[in-house]
Chains A and B, each alone.
Chain A
């Protein structure tokens, strides 16, 4: 039997940090980057006698995600304790939702190679994040920072409907886009605010039973997810082909050696002794709250993409670029209100704006100029007030200084002269002054044309509208 006789069965578990201001059970800030233990209090430090109080916004965000992903929202959900010992888990248990999660039975449609596939979502629940342990290379100690302990997480679990690493990556990309659009997560895999674990198994094609699965962890980019899943599929098939059995275990993706290794086993690793959290009553969610959240749902990625295609006549591929960041898409729309050559506008976005952001850093939210100003700049170029290449310089200046395009054009003297009469004068003058060249041109030496253009430009001190100069010269020279 060969690899093609096997089918891979993949389920993904995503942990997404929520963009609330404060933690899930206390008022400490969730802001990343503070020095160790500067965002802590007795509650998230797990001191004796402390108690959790639930952050309302976490519930709203969970409902938002559930509605966007087509889930049914549980009217009554319950909190549980997941008990285990680890230094970054201050209470010795994590407060999570085990039995009765807030959202269930949703779906996410992914597009791969033009084909749409629906991946079912089993459940979404709320829980608290743990802190961070840093293993101090020199000292034989680990250092524990509990700033992250208590940051709210949504855990999103898919059914094992995924059949390849490409599908897995596309599922993650699509899911991430939804969460970013919803404003509940920043989608950052490298920093760990969007994390993914994969459950992978294989079975003979046509088999109805699932094979033994392993869990893959430590994949903090889409590329690693694909590599790790492919590796694991290959490994499992080879194991089965040689008469071996797949062992249920957790494996870590080693990004240096491109292999997955079993995590050192913790004998009692999996007896979490879940029981209902006595310190938190059951959470009742009203129809009114669900409706309120539903009304406040932003336009979701797919809907926005379709609308961009039809409303702006842009190609699917171009739309993908614009809609990857909802703020970018919004900025485009704001510009498009005033400048209706959408294709040209897109070209400026792709060729100039995104390039500037890439090269000089920043994001749409930190742009120093308005969409209306960009529209005004493009209108100037269209009117011939400046050349297109001057326009690019102006945009760069707007990007850096936030100054108004008109002001920049004036200050830098970039204004292009497109006055027909002025250009005609200059052209006439050049022709009159260079009869010899005129003759050479008319005689067939076409390359002389460049000389006339140069001279006309010089006469206009470099500000002549090159297009108009060209046209007029052609007309007059014949």
Chain B
């Protein structure tokens, strides 16, 4: 299989997803199968091919350095799961 359990755990950690043991195994199988299918790209010689990161070439749009009134802080925090005053509150980082 393309992916080891360690690799699945590593990727899940990078993506901040907790997975149950069952899920780890299931995703390991599924992701491995998908990555197997990707192997076919190796057959193509792309040594002299430039990558495409933008579908259409658009000229860079530049904005004037002008201040636009900010959003009302009440609106900014309206959807916050937790707040203290006008700050977002989050659990502390535990080392």
| A→B interface (CB under 8 Å) | 20-22, 26-29, 35-42, 45, 53-59, 78, 85, 87, 133-136, 139-146, 264, 267-268, 271, 273, 275-276, 278, 280-284
A136 and B64 CA atoms in complex are apart in Å by 38
Q: Please, which residues of chain B bring their CB within 8 A of the CB of A133? A: 90
User: Once the chains bind, are A54 and B60 in contact (CB under 8 Å)?
Assistant: yes
Q: Nearest-CB distance from B51 to chain A (Å)?
A: 8
Q: Is B48 an interface residue (CB 8 A)?
A: no
Residue of B nearest to A23 (CB): B67
Q: Please, which residues of chain A bring their CB within 8 A of the CB of B59? A: 281, 284
Contacts A22-B68, A28-B68, A45-B76 given: A54-B61 contact, CB under 8 Å?
Answer: yes
Q: Please, which residues of chain A bring their CB within 8 A of the CB of B90? A: 87, 133, 141-144
Contacts A281-B58, A282-B60 given: A40-B91 contact, CB under 8 Å?
Answer: no
Q: Nearest-CB distance from A133 to chain B (Å)?
A: 8
How many B residues touch the partner, as a band?
35 or more
Known: A268-B13, A268-B14. 8 other contacts (CB 8 A): A54-B63, A57-B65, A140-B92, A141-B82, A146-B88, A276-B51, A278-B53, A281-B54
> Which of B65, B76, B95 meets A37, CB within 8 Å?
B76
Q: Which A-B residue pairs are the 4 nearest by beta carbons?
A: A27-B68, A57-B65, A143-B87, A276-B53
User: Once the chains bind, are A143 and B89 in contact (CB under 8 Å)?
Assistant: yes
User: Once the chains bind, are B67 and A136 in contact (CB under 8 Å)?
Assistant: no
**Chain B contacts with A in 41-95, Cβ cutoff 8 A:** 51, 53-54, 57-68, 70-71, 73, 76-77, 82, 84-93, 95
Q: Nearest-CB distance from A276 to chain B (Å)?
A: 4
User: Once the chains bind, are A141 and B76 in contact (CB under 8 Å)?
Assistant: no
Number of A-B contacts (CB under 8 A): 128
Q: Nearest-CB distance from B78 to chain A (Å)?
A: 11
> Which of B58, B66, B92 meets A21, CB within 8 Å?
B66
A selection of 27 A-B contacts at a CB cut-off of 8 Å is A22-B63, A22-B65, A27-B66, A27-B68, A28-B68, A37-B73, A37-B76, A37-B77, A37-B87, A38-B86, A41-B70, A41-B76, A56-B65, A87-B88, A141-B89, A141-B90, A143-B84, A267-B13, A271-B14, A276-B51, A278-B53, A281-B58, A281-B60, A282-B54, A282-B60, A283-B60, A284-B60
User: Once the chains bind, are B86 and A37 in contact (CB under 8 Å)?
Assistant: yes
Q: Please, which residues of chain A bring their CB within 8 A of the CB of B13? A: 267-268
A393 and B54 CA atoms in complex are apart in Å by 67
Q: Nearest-CB distance from A214 to chain B (Å)?
A: 19
User: Once the chains bind, are B84 and A136 in contact (CB under 8 Å)?
Assistant: yes
Contacts A140-B91, A267-B13, A278-B54 given: A28-B86 contact, CB under 8 Å?
Answer: no
Q: Nearest-CB distance from A414 to chain B (Å)?
A: 47
Centre residue among B54, B59, B61 by max chain A CB count within 10 A: B54
Contacts A37-B73, A37-B77, A41-B70 given: A56-B62 contact, CB under 8 Å?
Answer: yes
> Which of B54, B63, B86, B95 meets A56, CB within 8 Å?
B63
